């Protein structure tokens, strides 16, 4: 079993980790009061005060609308209201000054404080989206465009993505000279039919765009993934449902450097909290079984993976750097999440 030495440096690091998790909870509670509401000048000052209090980057809350209006998808593709109750494109007006998340979780500092950057537009915006029942799968919103930047940039040669949505990523890939073809795995036939009827005819490309009707989990294997130069996996709605899907993918033990996962850092921020709490329990020599059983079902599964993973290790952690590495190292976390545990 891994062991964590008791010394002043580690003691301080543990305290700072706990404090950062506590602060993050407070930040979320504070900002939630203002999210998705049009801000009056007084509310804006309150929000600025919250950002200052938690030491967040001091950027203006007003977002430059060119992030959308300069985006080729937002500019060129029209999504008229169409579809069935099950799957449809719809259009919502976002009133000016409505505070929204502009990206998913980002880490601030070296411990476990994560935050969503926030902002508002100074104009009313008509925002198209793809909805399946209560789920909003996709819209060309700032948080989607910003969070997919890495995937858009890295697309080259034969590209694969899992999750069609409104085809934002495929469109932006196909515009790139370096991209030769795009293949998409999508499990919902209605999403594909609607896309083929409304969006595909607007793509105006001579390159191949193949949409395969199938389940991402079945296609997530080395043989299939290796047929492509780059793959970007994006079939979850946010980090919360994403964590479950991401864990299922990790359990397949496929590790390929040309495969990336949408909002991976944000998804991992949820897993890191359980790993940290597990290590703190170990450090404080409290009962691990009691800790695991005190958690809800999803977190219990995570803690059991951590337990199995750390039980096999024999190293001694004696510095803050070593401790933080166990929490933040992406390769280590992927391995930890791939550990099989029974339900
Ligand atoms: C967030 S959207 C993808 C957005 C897309 N990247 C874009 O640029 O528009 C997720 C999509 O994944 C699909 N999906 C969900 N679970 C899936 C699964 N297991 N296999 C394949 N597709 C899935 C949904 O129907 C939805 O179309």
Q: What digits encode the pLDDT tens for the residues 14-31?
A: 999 999 999 999 999 999
Residue 299 lies in a domain: no
Q: How far is the CA of 50 from the centre of ligand 1 (A)?
A: 34
Residue identifier of the C-alpha nearest atom 5 of ligand 1: 165
pLDDT, residue 242, reads: 95
Average model confidence (pLDDT) across the chain? 95
CA distances from 179 to 61, 122, 158 (A): 35, 35, 6
- The first and second tokens of residue 189, run together, are 């036939």
Residue 219 lies in a domain: no
pTM: 0.95
Nearest to 288 by CA among 317, 265, 311, 312: 311
pLDDT, residue 288, reads: 97
Q: Domain span at residue 53?
A: 33-144
pLDDT, residue 182, reads: 98
- Closest-lying ligand 1 atom to the alpha carbon of residue 262: 6
End-to-end CA distance of the chain: 23
* pLDDT at residue 58 tops 80: no
Q: Is the CB of 77 under 6 A from ligand 1?
A: no
Question: CA torsion, points 266, 271, 272, 277, in degrees to nearest 10?
Answer: 150
Residue 89 lies in a domain: yes
Nearest to 132 by CA among 83, 168, 91: 83
pLDDT, residue 236, reads: 97
Residue 108 lies in a domain: yes
Confidence of residue 82 (pLDDT cuts 50, 70, 90): confident
Residue 291 lies in a domain: no
Q: How far is the CA of 63 from the centre of ligand 1 (A)?
A: 27
- Closest-lying ligand 1 atom to the alpha carbon of residue 245: 19
- Closest-lying ligand 1 atom to the alpha carbon of residue 235: 12
pLDDT, residue 92, reads: 87
Mean pLDDT of 219-238: 97
- Closest-lying ligand 1 atom to the alpha carbon of residue 130: 27
pLDDT, residue 110, reads: 97
CA distances from 50 to 29, 39, 103, 142, 215 (A): 11, 14, 18, 22, 42
Residues in contact with 246: Cβ distance below 8 Å, sequence separation at least 6, in sequence order: 236, 261, 264, 267, 337
Residue 232 lies in a domain: no
- Three-point CA angle 263, 269, 273, nearest 5°: 160
Into how many domains does the chain fold? 1
Mean pLDDT of 88-116: 93
Q: Is the CB of 249 under 6 A from ligand 1?
A: no
Residue 221 lies in a domain: no
Q: Is the CB of 137 under 6 A from ligand 1?
A: yes
Residue 268 lies in a domain: no
Q: How far is the CA of 6 from the centre of ligand 1 (A)?
A: 46
Residues 160 and 275: their CA atoms lie apart, in Å, by 32
Residue identifier of the C-alpha nearest atom 16 of ligand 1: 235
Q: Is the CB of 165 under 6 A from ligand 1?
A: yes
- Closest-lying ligand 1 atom to the alpha carbon of residue 217: 19
């Amino acid at each position: 079993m891994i062991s964590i030495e008791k010394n002043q440096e580690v003691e301080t690091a543990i305290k700072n980790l706990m404090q950062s998790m506590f602060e993050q909870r407070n930040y979320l509670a504070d900002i939630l009061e203002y999210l998705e509401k049009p801000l009056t000048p007084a509310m804006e000052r309150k929000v600025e005060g919250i950002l200052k209090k938690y030491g967040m980057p001091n950027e203006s809350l007003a977002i430059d609308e060119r992030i959308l209006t300069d985006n080729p998808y937002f500019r060129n593709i029209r999504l008229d209201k169409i579809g069935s109750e099950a799957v449809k494109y719809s259009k919502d007006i976002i009133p000016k000054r409505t505070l929204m998340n502009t990206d998913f979780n980002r880490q601030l500092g070296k411990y476990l404080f994560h935050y969503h950057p926030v902002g508002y537009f100074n104009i009313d915006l008509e925002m198209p989206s793809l909805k399946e029942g209560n789920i909003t799968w996709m819209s060309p919103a700032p948080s989607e465009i910003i969070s997919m930047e890495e995937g858009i940039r890295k697309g080259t040669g034969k590209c694969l993505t899992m999750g069609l949505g409104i085809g934002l990523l495929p469109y932006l890939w196909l515009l790139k000279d370096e991209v030769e073809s795009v293949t998409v795995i999508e499990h919902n036939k209605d999403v594909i039919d609607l896309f083929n009827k409304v969006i595909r005819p607007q793509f105006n490309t001579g390159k191949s765009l193949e949409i395969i009707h199938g389940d991402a989990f079945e296609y997530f294997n080395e043989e299939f993934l290796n047929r492509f130069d780059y793959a970007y996996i994006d079939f979850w709605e946010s980090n919360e449902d994403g964590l479950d899907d991401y864990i299922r993918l990790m359990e397949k033990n496929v590790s390929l450097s040309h495969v990336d996962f949408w909002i991976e850092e944000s998804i991992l921020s949820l897993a890191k909290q359980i790993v940290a709490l597990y290590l703190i329990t170990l450090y404080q020599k409290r009962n691990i079984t009691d800790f695991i059983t005190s958690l809800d079902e999803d977190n219990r599964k995570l803690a059991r993976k951590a337990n199995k993973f750390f039980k096999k290790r024999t190293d001694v952690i004696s510095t803050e750097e070593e401790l933080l590495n166990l929490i933040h190292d992406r390769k280590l976390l992927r391995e930890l999440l791939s550990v099989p545990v029974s339900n």
